[in-house]
Amino acid sequence: MGDIYEKVRQRLDMFPQGFPKTTSGVELEILRRLFSPEEGEILLALRPSAEPASVVAARVSRDAEEMGKQLYGMSKRGLIMRLRTPDGQNLYALAPWIVGIWEFQLKNLDQEFVKLKERYTEEGMIPERRKAKISGMRTIPVEKEVIGTAEVEPYEKVSEILNGHTKFAVADCICRKEKKIMGEGCDKLMEACMTFGPWADYYIENGFGREITREEARGIILKAEEQGLVHCSSNQKGAKLFICNCCGCCCGVLQYVNKHNIPTAMTKSNYYAKVDPETCTACEICVDRCQVNAIRVQDGSATIEKARCIGCGLCVSTCPTESISIIRKEQDDLSVIFPDPIALVQAIGKEKGKAFPFE
């Protein structure tokens, strides 16, 4: 049992999102906090594709009924993923560290745990992100700011994302919750992370979030925009399973864009904002709204650093002189959008030299 946590780490690191080894071993401290040695052994028997408990039990010569109880208990604590078939059967699968196990720890946070996670992000995850060219996240622009521009695809519209689902849940933003626990952060919308479809079922059944209607989801989107939060989701065209509403001071994506100056490594966009200096009055409202510090005022006008701009549209929606526009990037500058979640993680895996799905 002595090396079970290193084996679990290696298993999670097989995901393209990664769970890399550090010099300090902080990642093993996290795993010891989350998993008992027996639960670590069970995790090693799981696959990234969802399976019934009986299949997992047969793989390790265990009793199916007992395995079902253990897997269900682990899934309730956010250690593995649980999906339900139309006939009510539970299926179980590995979950990546991010987006996955960490986000499922909403009910288990304390200062010690948050410190461990922040240490691990700095020592393990950020070095990998610095090297990456493919991002798992994409900015979804404020919709009213892109209506009327050319070639706005359905996956770049919040309304289309919401219309593609019938089941909705909302949960606290784990990033702002982390900061609150540490006595830091902001007072922006806490109940801001939305999940859809099977992820919504998982969040609701586990008590991580509450069920909402499509209209309530639209209301959260509008409130997020009013507060200057950036809509982010997965970098793929198919049905998206979540929308995060992110701030630059707390959220795992934008916070590290600012802290480590890696604007293109964390989230992609096919838009950027442009200022008309002839009508701009240098009021600085856009400076306050920008979550990635892409705007400054000089010589009587706002200027936007195109390389930092993530195309969210928050500066456009509150410009009193309508001096800012959202512009679609030229064809050669467009970032790749993958057809579905599997294609996305396969591309990330290929970049890192990892095969997905793995056995």
Q: Which domains does the chain have, with CATH numbers?
A: 4-127 (1.10.10), 136-263 (no CATH), 271-332 (3.30.70.20)
Q: What is the pLDDT of residue 61?
A: 94
Report the share of the chain in percent with pLDDT over 90.
65
First to last CA, the chain: 22
Confidence class of residue 78 from pLDDT cuts 50, 70 and 90? very high
CA 280, CA 229: separation in Å to the nearest integer? 23
Question: What is the 8-class DSSP label of residue 149?
Answer: S
Q: What is the pLDDT of residue 53?
A: 97
Q: What is the pLDDT of residue 21?
A: 95
Q: What CA–CA distances, in Å, run from 55 to 92, 155, 237, 290, 317?
A: 10, 36, 32, 50, 52
Q: CB atoms < 10 A from the CB of 22, how many?
A: 16
Encoded amino acid at 310, one letter: I
Residue 30 has pLDDT above 90, yes or no: yes
Q: What is the pLDDT of residue 148?
A: 45
Q: What CA–CA distances, in Å, run from 275 to 65, 176, 262?
A: 63, 31, 23
Q: What is the pLDDT of residue 152?
A: 54
The answer to whether the bond into 275 is cis (omega within 30° of 0) is no
pLDDT (average), residues 35-44? 96
Q: What is the pLDDT of residue 155?
A: 55
Residue 1 has pLDDT above 60, yes or no: no
Residue 354 has pLDDT above 60, yes or no: yes
Residue 54 has pLDDT above 90, yes or no: yes
Mean pLDDT of the chain: 90
CA 130, CA 336: separation in Å to the nearest integer? 18
SS3 233: strand
200 exposed, middle or buried (CB, 10 Å; 0-12, 13-18, 19+)? Answer: buried
CA 212, CA 192: separation in Å to the nearest integer? 12
Q: What is the pLDDT of residue 237?
A: 86
Of 124-128, 155-159, 251-255, 285-289, give the lowest mean pLDDT range: 155-159
CB 17 within 8 A of CB 121: no
Of 45-54, 189-198, 235-244, 265-274, give the lowest mean pLDDT range: 265-274
* Range from 78-82, 122-126, 323-327 that averages highest in pLDDT: 78-82
Q: What is the pLDDT of residue 101?
A: 97
Q: Which backbone phi and psi does 94 adopt, to 5 degrees?
A: -60, 145
Q: What is the pLDDT of residue 144?
A: 67
pLDDT (average), residues 217-222? 94
Q: What is the pLDDT of residue 353?
A: 86
Placement of tokens 């500058």 in the chain: 333
Residue 334 has pLDDT above 90, yes or no: no
Q: What is the pLDDT of residue 168?
A: 97
Report the share of the chain in percent with pLDDT over 70.
95
Q: What is the pLDDT of residue 58?
A: 95
Placement of tokens 């593609």 in the chain: 164
Q: What is the pLDDT of residue 147?
A: 46
Structure tokens given for 93: 């699968």
pLDDT (average), residues 179-208? 95
330 exposed, middle or buried (CB, 10 Å; 0-12, 13-18, 19+)? Answer: exposed
Structure tokens given for 298: 């000089």
Q: What is the pLDDT of residue 151?
A: 53
CA 141, CA 272: separation in Å to the nearest integer? 10
Residue 266 has pLDDT above 90, yes or no: no
CA 339, CA 246: separation in Å to the nearest integer? 24
Placement of tokens 């009021």 in the chain: 283
CB 279 within 8 A of CB 285: no
CA 57, CA 134: separation in Å to the nearest integer? 36
Placement of tokens 């479809």 in the chain: 197
CB 126 within 8 A of CB 20: no
CA 113, CA 95: separation in Å to the nearest integer? 19
Q: What is the pLDDT of residue 213?
A: 96
Of 5-9, 46-50, 148-152, 242-246, give the lowest mean pLDDT range: 148-152
